[in-house]
Chains A and B, each alone.
Chain A
């Protein structure tokens, strides 16, 4: 492999990583923007999506695509329950919402151990086993399973953008995020919008877990490192800014993948955090965050 081919391969790896990071982080930002909840259970929802896919596809033998759809719906349902039972009573209580989300994270992780046991990761025999040689170059490849992740993530992000920009519900969600009191005065139900936001956010995490399941370690704690990445993206992008999260997801993933390839995985994580600190020093509100006036 030549230097140029390695760069091309790294760009491809970065694109796939970016797409997944984007849908995961956007879901996290959505909840913070609308409900003012730092949802620590977002990684656990990703885990629910992965475990569900493994169980439905590998254990019950359902078709792969059916398993992915059911896993996404199941995770969305968990999100719905979380909103009604945990976050709604804590509305307006930033610290309370954070604490119950941490509790929910542990509940979901312990539940997965209780239901599916512990030990080595769950294995999914991949639905896609082949790779695409990028532009016909023999040494530059992307596995079809990773292309599938890219396609699903792109589809979800485009659908989400259309929903937010072209539908009344999307406008209502944006209104709630910008000024909940004003939105309520206009007749928008904050409760319904919060519920919808939580379902969409959980579905994004679940779909991410479902499509990533054949590619990663399926363990009860699998959401931890992904959640840390999403927090970095959320802070760099600007708390509550979906556009910022998208930009930060791509910037961070490209940066992390290139450093992992050319320097090393450990250094990449350290430099990723340094990058976050530098952004915060230069622009404390993040890339797209807005300064709040008192």
Chain B
């Protein structure tokens, strides 16, 4: 049998195929590189009382991951990684948090776990430490010397609450008395201690306090008693978002005319709709909208803050809460740390995170702090905004210095923590 394929044609053909395969191989290997995936664990309440501080945060993390992936992924150690978010609902419950943590570590093999704080974090803290898993909490009272991989990189709750009260002390000399109402749990009590301290330092007397349980369905009696004391300022402390909503509405319906200062004012568009722009005018709290001009550069560290906020609002209208950006802000910091470390390995990333100085916090440069309270410097402490309602919109009126206040009045804070039985290592 004779062949009509010449040697030259054969070489050219095979060469072409080889070149094509090489090119294809190169292309495939590039595709594989871009498709390397790094997994982020999200373990917080997506249902139940604390869902308002879990679910909106997950939305934010998903938007953050989308933005990272749209920009080509995370660049670590000279390679690109696509970010994947894996979430479990812990329902703010210790057992469910433990199950979720085991799944995230052993089945999903995540590189970092983002958590809300308090009970679920306490439940998994030892497990995370034993497995050297980098974990973040929004509640610094969770951190302790025996948990070196647990960080509070974003929130210094409840300490930042002092900034708004400090602002009142300097700008509203007519405010002399205060009333506090909140739910009776760790979150409420630690915040109550902080407000007590802040009011004491500002020369404001606390004349009424009411702690309520989770079974309360009618807030009218709670508000009636508070208003009856005629306080100049009322705080709902760190009440859960739904409680703030209903308590504020009750205060409106019962004709309260004084000032408010609070930790959060989540989904305030709904509260505005239930009350009025005039009623909420001047309301002070601690969490800004990220489209605030102050958040666009000028020493803050949250890339594309306004774009993030706009995407969030478009996708989840009216759902913006205190935590919408916070878990994403923790990831921003983690991105810097793994970039410096050149590795996603959790202990290595934790070490790199600890070595950040200054800490690039969303609200500006911060420092690791906490040894005096918790025995370890794992909470990022720096500036925190005082936010005021102005014509139905959140406006940052000041970037308060939490660190300076703590340095000056930390003893007052510790006194009130101890009085309410809130644990510190001090």
A interface vs B, CB < 8 Å? Answer: 1, 5-6, 9-10, 13, 16-17, 113, 118-121, 123, 125-126, 129, 131, 133, 138-139, 141, 143, 145-146, 215-217, 219-222, 225-226, 228, 257-258, 260-262, 264-266, 269
Contact = CB atoms under 8 A, between A and B. Distances in A.
A269 B213 contact: yes
A226 B217 contact: yes
Contact of A141 (B55, B255, B270, B276): B255
B12 interface: no
A120, A260, A266: residue with the most chain B Cβ atoms closer than 10 Å: A120
Given A120-B51, A123-B270, A138-B255, A9 B210 contact: no
A266 B253 contact: no
Nearest to A131: B253
B230 A1 contact: yes
A199 B46 CA distance: 34
A264 B217 contact: no
A235 B275 CA distance: 39
A264 B218 contact: no
A133 B266 CA distance: 30
Contacts of B270: 123, 125
B254 interface: yes
Interface residues of B, number: 42
Nearest to A220: B47
B224 A225 contact: no
Given A16-B220, A123-B245, A269-B213, A141 B267 contact: no
A288 to B, nearest CB: 25
Contact of B215 (A9, A17, A269): A269
A220 B49 CA distance: 11
Given A123-B270, A146-B220, A118 B253 contact: no
Given A120-B52, A139-B255, A260-B222, 11 more contacts: A5-B228, A16-B218, A16-B220, A118-B47, A119-B55, A123-B267, A126-B249, A141-B253, A225-B216, A257-B221, A260-B212
Nearest to B255: A141
Contact of B227 (A1, A121, A220, A265): A1
A119 B46 contact: yes
Given A5-B228, A123-B273, A131 B255 contact: yes
Contacts of B216: 225, 260, 265
A13 B220 contact: yes
Interface in B222-246: 222, 224-225, 227-228, 230, 241-242, 245-246
Interface in B173-190: 184
Leading 8 A-B pairs by shortest Cβ distance: A265-B212, A143-B253, A260-B221, A119-B55, A123-B270, A1-B228, A266-B213, A261-B221
Given A1-B230, A216-B246, A9 B224 contact: yes
B274 A13 contact: no
A142 B319 CA distance: 30
A226 B215 CA distance: 9
B73 interface: no
24 contacts: A1-B227, A6-B224, A6-B228, A13-B218, A119-B55, A119-B56, A120-B55, A120-B241, A126-B274, A131-B253, A131-B254, A131-B255, A138-B255, A139-B227, A216-B218, A217-B217, A221-B48, A260-B221, A261-B222, A264-B210, A265-B212, A265-B213, A266-B184, A266-B213
Given A1-B228, A9-B228, A216-B246, A120 B274 contact: no
B404 interface: no
B264 to A, nearest CB: 12
Nearest to A117: B55
Contacts of B47: 113, 118-119, 220
Contact of A10 (B46, B52, B221, B249): B221
B211 interface: yes
Contacts of B51: 118-120
Contacts of A133: 255
Contacts of A129: 274-276
Contact of A264 (B52, B212, B241, B276): B212
